[in-house]
């Protein structure tokens, strides 16, 4: 695994006129090329660490795989100097991604690129139904999740530059947490962890993200069977549309003792 953080010199200034040089800790951002059976599929910018989870979660979100049994092997390529190229061999009988999915460009860490073009396409290709998930939560339990997520962010404490995604059970217990420079990467790492552990679908869980709830994150949560997506910031309009269509509960602006419930309010028990 590559370095997660690096030290760089900075010039520290203040409005009072003081100045000084000191080292600062930065989150590492490096490219990861994903290959399937030796054929390049895409390149994503990510923070090194949990790369196998990242790739498994990405392939699950794109509908290439549905479970751990669809993966034969994953390994770093020996023909590269750094561990920045990962090759996946699918299990016999699993259909490889077609050429239309191959991306000859870099996916930035700022946002994911969803392979599906519309909610209608996602509806037709939905692996799990979350509308009937019986999970019920109280506002008090939800209000505790941002603090629990923040407390578990080890690398963020040193850099201040990473997003986090945390998977919680019905009692608010933390099942998995992943950090990355990209919001979508952090979610892919959590979903990939669950897939490799044989935990999909993620019935009765809450996915808590440190930023906003975009369409891509909602799509990834839905594909993994997560009934509740909560974010400390705002959702997009398309994220709300997708969550409503899927029967998911979408919570935004989860800060302090208040929150906005955009869809699936029946799961929040007052």
Q: Which residues are catalytic?
A: 111
Token pair in block for residue 184: 């979508």
Q: Which of 256, 212, 252 is CA-nearest to residue 268?
A: 252
Strands 106-107 and 39-46 come out as: parallel
Structure tokens at 168: 């919680």
CB contact set of 98 (below 8 Å; sequence gap of 6+): none
Q: What's the burial of 18, exposed, middle or buried (CB within 10 Å: 0-12/13-18/19+)?
A: exposed
Report H helices in 93-228: 119-124, 139-152, 154-159, 183-196, 215-223
Beta bridge pairs of residue 24 = 8
Cα separation, 180 vs 58, whole angstroms: 14
Measured torsion, CA atoms of residues 154, 151, 206, 4, in degrees rounded to the nearest 10: -10
CA-CA distance, 12 to 22, in Å (whole number)? 7
d(CA 149, CA 174): 8
Instruction: Using alpha carbons, list the distances in angstroms from residue 40 to 34, 104, 108, 186.
Output: 6, 9, 17, 22
88: phi then psi, degrees, rounded to nearest 5: -115, 135
């Amino acid at each position: 695994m590559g370095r997660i953080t690096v030290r760089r010199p900075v010039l520290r200034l203040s409005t009072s006129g003081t100045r000084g040089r000191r080292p600062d800790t930065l989150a590492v951002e490096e490219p990861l090329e994903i290959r399937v059976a030796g054929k390049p599929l895409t390149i994503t910018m990510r923070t090194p660490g949990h790369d196998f989870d990242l790739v498994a979660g990405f392939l699950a979100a794109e509908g290439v795989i549905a479970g751990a049994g669809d993966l034969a092997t994953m390994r770093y390529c020996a023909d590269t100097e750094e561990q920045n190229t990962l090759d996946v061999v699918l299990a016999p009988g699993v259909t490889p991604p077609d050429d239309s999915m191959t991306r000859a460009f870099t996916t930035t860490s700022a946002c994911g690129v969803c392979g599906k073009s519309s909610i209608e396409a996602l509806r037709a290709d939905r692996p799990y139904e979350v509308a009937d998930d019986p999970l019920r939560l109280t506002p008090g339990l939800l209000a505790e999740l941002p603090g629990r997520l923040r407390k578990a962010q080890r690398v963020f404490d040193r850099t201040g530059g990473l997003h986090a995604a945390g998977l919680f059970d019905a009692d608010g217990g933390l099942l998995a947490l992943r950090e990355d420079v990209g919001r979508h990467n952090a979610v892919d790492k959590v979903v990939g962890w669950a897939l490799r552990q044989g935990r999909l679908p993620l019935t009765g869980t809450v996915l808590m993200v440190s930023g906003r709830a975009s369409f891509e994150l909602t799509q990834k949560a839905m594909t993994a069977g997560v009934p509740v997506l909560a974010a400390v910031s705002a959702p997009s309009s398309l994220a709300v549309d997708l969550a409503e269509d899927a029967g998911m509960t979408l919570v935004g602006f989860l800060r302090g003792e208040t929150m906005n419930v955009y869809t699936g309010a029946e799961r929040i028990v007052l």
